[in-house]
Amino acid sequence: MTVCIQEPGLRDGRFITFEGGEGAGKSTQIRLLAERLRQGTPYAVRGVVVTREPGGTPLAEKLRGVILSGAARQFGPLGEALLFSAARIDHIDRVIGPALRRGAFVLCDRFADSTRAYQGAKGGADPALLLAMEKVALGKLAPNLTFILDLPPEVGLERARRRRGEGEADRFEAEDLAFHAQLRDKFLEIAASEPQRCRVIDATLPPEIVADAIWTTVCEKFLKAFTDGKKWA
Ligand code: T5A
């Protein structure tokens, strides 16, 4: 199963994850970045794969349904973390690993940092156990870049509430404000502890401004040689 980012076949692929609290704008930003990457960068040819967690494969999407319905809540945070990890292993095996080997750009809506933050929040699962589980699930795979879309939890929850209208809050949206405030702290802690990998983006700004900040970082990190030789709109 283990995917090794140092394998020659994986060298050209790029794995970018988007993290943050509820309603932070991850899906919106992934859509905008994918559009830009598909418009004439080398990745228009190599492929831009948009995917999400929990989910991304038929089996992982089934687990998503179970987890977000709240049916697995009785297992506790560690049990839920095991389910997220099982879904992640399938996702890496069937979608992320093969796409990176093809040299594609993989944009993933949430990944392992969400397990660290959500299942570790508010006296949840032991962080050391979560990290051990992460090592088992990921092997040597790690995102090349992680955007942490940061905003006050009240703002994100209100966006999520407005979007779902009359629909019910899911398993995690329904947690109290203290839980969501801890999530924000945990994501910022992860960013501070891994500054090479993580970029914190102010997600309260309008979507186009957030998209420009993300694009600038992606160009600097991955498209420098290409942008230097070409004029970009
Ligand atoms: N989870 C997940 C775990 O507990 N552990 C794990 O290991 C993993 C992988 C997934 C849930 O599972 C949990 C975390 C989550 O609770 P989900 O439905 O995928 O559930 O939930 P989210 O990932 O939180 O996705 P959302 O769809 O709620 O939020 P997004 O994708 O961050 O936000 P987006 O782009 O859909 O935007 C939300 C609304 O805000 C507007 C959009 O138009 C939309 O209406 N918006 C903005 N408004 C103003 N300014 C901006 N800059 C805006 N950007 C977007």
Closest CA to ligand 1's atom 8: 114
Cβ of 133 less than 6 Å from ligand 1: no
pLDDT of residue 230: 57
Q: What gap in Å lies between CA 187 and CA 179, rounded to an integer?
A: 13
Is residue 6 in a domain?
no
pLDDT of residue 44: 78
* Interval between CA 161 and ligand 1 midpoint (Å): 11
Cβ of 54 less than 6 Å from ligand 1: yes
pLDDT in tens, 191-213: 999 999 999 999 999 999 999 99
Cis peptide before 98 (omega within 30 of 0): no
Is residue 131 in a domain?
yes
* Interval between CA 186 and ligand 1 midpoint (Å): 17
CATH number, residue 201: 3.40.50.300
Alpha-carbon Rg of the chain, whole angstroms?
17
Q: What gap in Å lies between CA 39 and CA 17, rounded to an integer?
A: 20
Q: Please, which pLDDT band fits residue 229 given cuts at 50, 70 and 90?
A: low
CA dihedral 33, 35, 38, 42 (to 10 degrees): -20
Is residue 2 in a domain?
no
Residues contacting 18, CB < 8 A, separation 6+: 26, 29, 30, 107, 108, 109, 110, 146, 147, 149
Task: Tell me the average pLDDT of the chain.
Answer: 92
How many domains is the chain built from? 1
pLDDT of residue 59: 98
pLDDT of residue 4: 39
pLDDT in tens, 67-103: 999 999 999 999 999 999 999 999 999 999 999 999 9
Closest CA to ligand 1's atom 20: 68
pLDDT of residue 205: 98
Closest atom of ligand 1 to 173 CA is 16
Q: What gap in Å lies between CA 102 and CA 220, rounded to an integer?
A: 22
Rounded to 5°, angle at Cα 147 from 146 and 152: 135
Burial of 195 per CB tally in 10 Å (0-12, 13-18, 19+) = exposed
Is residue 10 in a domain?
no
Residue 233 has pLDDT above 50, yes or no: no
pLDDT of residue 123: 86
**Segments forming the whole domain that contains residue 142:** 15-223
Closest CA to ligand 1's atom 49: 206
The rounded percent of the chain whose pLDDT value lies above 70 is: 92
pLDDT of residue 8: 38
DSSP state of 176: -
Q: Please, which pLDDT band fits residue 168 given cuts at 50, 70 and 90?
A: very high
Closest atom of ligand 1 to 54 CA is 9
Is residue 218 in a domain?
yes
Among 33-37, 41-45, 69-73, the least confident range: 41-45
Cβ of 113 less than 6 Å from ligand 1: no
Q: Catalogue the E-assigned strands of the chain.
A: 14-20, 48-52, 105-109, 145-150, 198-202
157 HSE (CA, 13 A, CB side)? 18
Closest CA to ligand 1's atom 46: 25
Q: What gap in Å lies between CA 138 and CA 1, rounded to an integer?
A: 9
Kindly state the tokens that stand for 168: 């019910």
Is residue 147 in a domain?
yes
Closest atom of ligand 1 to 23 CA is 29
Q: What gap in Å lies between CA 98 and CA 10, rounded to an integer?
A: 9
Residue 12 has pLDDT above 80, yes or no: no
Predicted TM-score (pTM) of the model is: 0.94
Residues in the chain: 233
Cβ of 143 less than 6 Å from ligand 1: no
Is residue 231 in a domain?
no
Is residue 232 in a domain?
no
Cβ of 88 less than 6 Å from ligand 1: no
Residue 1 has pLDDT above 80, yes or no: no
End-to-end CA distance of the chain: 41
Span 51-62, average pLDDT: 98
Q: What gap in Å lies between CA 142 and CA 138, rounded to an integer?
A: 7
Q: What gap in Å lies between CA 117 and CA 86, rounded to an integer?
A: 17
Cis peptide before 54 (omega within 30 of 0): yes
